[in-house]
Amino acid sequence: MSKKIILSGVKPTGRPHIGNYFGAMKQMVDLQNQFADAEKFFMIADYHALNLIQSKEEMAQFTLDLALDYLAIGIDPKQSTLFKQSDVSAHTELAWIFNTITTMPYLMRAHAFKDAEAKNKEINVGTFDYPILMAADILLYDTTLVPVGQDQKQHVEYSRDIAQKFNNVFNTETFNLPEPLIMKGVEIVSGTNGQKMSKSYNNTIPLFATREEITKAVMGIVTDSSGDVPVNVYNIHKLIKSETELKEIYDKNKGKYKILKETLIEDLDTMIKPLRKRRAELEKNTEEIKAILADGAIKAKTKANAKLLTIKKNIGVL
Ligand code: ADP
Ligand code: TRP
């Protein structure tokens, strides 16, 4: 078996919620801890975010915030390389190379593009090209495993197709094919109104929420009165307690929605408290966070630049 190389990324677009955490970010930490001898890269996808965040102050703030989020949930810079996409220019350079072997109709079939276009016809080229930059992110590191949320599965498939296309066009074995890794049971974490939890739907529980914010969000969970179990409360509860534990709680409190919500508040707070505390500690020393990112940039660049040299040789520009 060849060495595992794990890579994933998150866009710095604001406060993460527990849907982002259970659907995507938690797996990164679990994999880091599970595979001591794998190479691990976790990225702040700031150039992807630039499609949405076009303010100097916001970009700087959200980038620092995301670094804090990663570290607070347990990404350990001793075991993993934590870096900013924009620090490694090989990503955008490889994206250009991939642009030249990818067709427009193929990119037009991407779900994310279709959704964006349905909302706004004046779509920017960066949004259209999003999967190409993501393929470059992944393939520059010879990544074997990409832990992501369900809605990113297609993008990982795109990077496999692009890898294969490159190998065929240039008749080489430059890229291996990365596999997506999606956690079972948390493909779609539902929000306080039962819809998919999302920043855009105003139905989130922030990952680093204060006790007051947790209380407000949970008290606002929409409950219907058709059964004994408030489904929207249960669906969030099952992220943090086992089915057996929940059965006991929900059997004992049939129809008592208020008690069930109070139990959920308590359980969420118990889960979030240590994360909140760790984040507050880290926040006191932003210089150290910047140093971690600078160190990550050096490590990422070393690997990415070496790969880019091979790629450039294989296309005949070197
Ligand atoms: P949002 O919809 O809140 O804007 P993003 O699109 O920024 O979230 O998603 C960031 C990551 O979190 C992605 O990998 C995505 O798959 C995951 N994710 C977001 N919302 C959920 C959810 N409700 N359930 C599971 N995973 C999610
Ligand atoms: N597109 C991903 C998201 O929206 C973020 C991302 C950028 C990413 N580059 C990546 C994820 C490379 C995995 C691998 O969540």
pLDDT in tens, 246-257: 999 999 999 899
* Residue 228 pLDDT: 78
- The amino acid occupying position 229 is V
**Which ligand lies nearest to the CA atom of residue 202 in the structure?**
1
Q: If you measure from the C-alpha of residue 247 to the centroid of ligand 2, how many angstroms do you get, rounded to a whole number?
A: 36
Q: Nearest ligand to the C-alpha of residue 198?
A: 1
**Which residue lies with its CA nearest to atom 6 of ligand 1?**
198
Per-residue model confidence (pLDDT) at position 23: 94
Q: What is the pLDDT of residue 135?
A: 98
pLDDT in tens, 220-235: 999 976 777 899 999 9
CA atoms of 18 and 276, how far apart (whole Å):
13
Nearest CA to ligand 2 atom 8: 9
49 lines ligand 2 (CB under 6 A): no
DSSP string of 132-162?
HHHHHHHHTTT--EEE--GGGHHHHHHHHHH
Q: What angle do CA 40, 43, 46 make, to 5 degrees?
A: 170
Answer yes or no: is the C-beta of 138 below 6 A from any ligand 2 atom.
yes
3-class secondary-structure state, position 228: coil
Segment 266-279 mean pLDDT: 98
* pLDDT at 185 (0 to 100): 87
Contact call for residues 238 and 245 (beta carbons, < 8 A): no
Residue 280's pLDDT is 98
Q: Model confidence over 187-202: pLDDT tens digits? A: 899 999 999 999 989 9
**Ligand 2 close to Cβ of residue 146 (< 6 A):** yes
pLDDT higher than threshold 80 for residue 1: no
Tell me the whole-structure pTM to 2 decimals: 0.96
- The band of 121, judged by pLDDT with boundaries at 50, 70 and 90, is confident
**Ligand 2 atom 11: residue of nearest CA:** 9
Which residue type sits at 4? K
Which ligand minimizes its atom distance to the CA of 133? Answer: 2
Asked whether the predicted pLDDT for residue 126 surpasses 90, the reply is yes
Mean pLDDT, residues 103-132: 95
Query: How far is ligand 2, taken at its centre, from the CA of residue 10, in Å?
Result: 5
Q: How many helices (H) and strands (E) does the chain have?
A: 15, 5
91: pLDDT strictly greater than 90 = yes
Whole-number Å distance, alpha carbon 285 to ligand 2 midpoint, is 27
Residue 13 CA to ligand 2 center (angstroms) comes to 12
Contact by Cβ (8 Å): 74, 118: no
Residue whose CA is at the smallest distance from ligand 2 atom 13:
8
Residue 190, classed as helix, strand or coil, is strand
Q: Ligand 1 site: residues with CB under 6 angstroms?
A: 11, 13, 19-20, 23-24, 148-152, 186, 188-189, 196-200
In ligand 1, the atom with minimum distance to the C-alpha of 191 is 23
Condensed to tens digits (0 to 9), the pLDDT of residues 45-68 reads 999 999 999 999 999 999 999 999
CA distance 195 to 186: 14
Q: Summarize the confidence of residues 110-137 as an average pLDDT.
A: 95
- Mutate which of 151, 184, 188, 200 to test ligand 1's pocket (most atoms within 8 Å of Cβ)? 151
CB of residue 53 inside a 6 A radius of ligand 2: no
Mean of all residue pLDDT scores within the chain: 96
**Distance in angstroms (rounded) separating the CA atoms of residues 192 and 211:** 16
Average pLDDT over residues 25-49: 97
Q: What is the pLDDT of residue 225?
A: 66
> In this structure, are residues 193 and 222 in contact, taking their beta carbons and an 8 Å threshold?
yes
Percent share of the chain, pLDDT over 70 = 99
- CA-nearest residue for atom 11, ligand 1, is 20
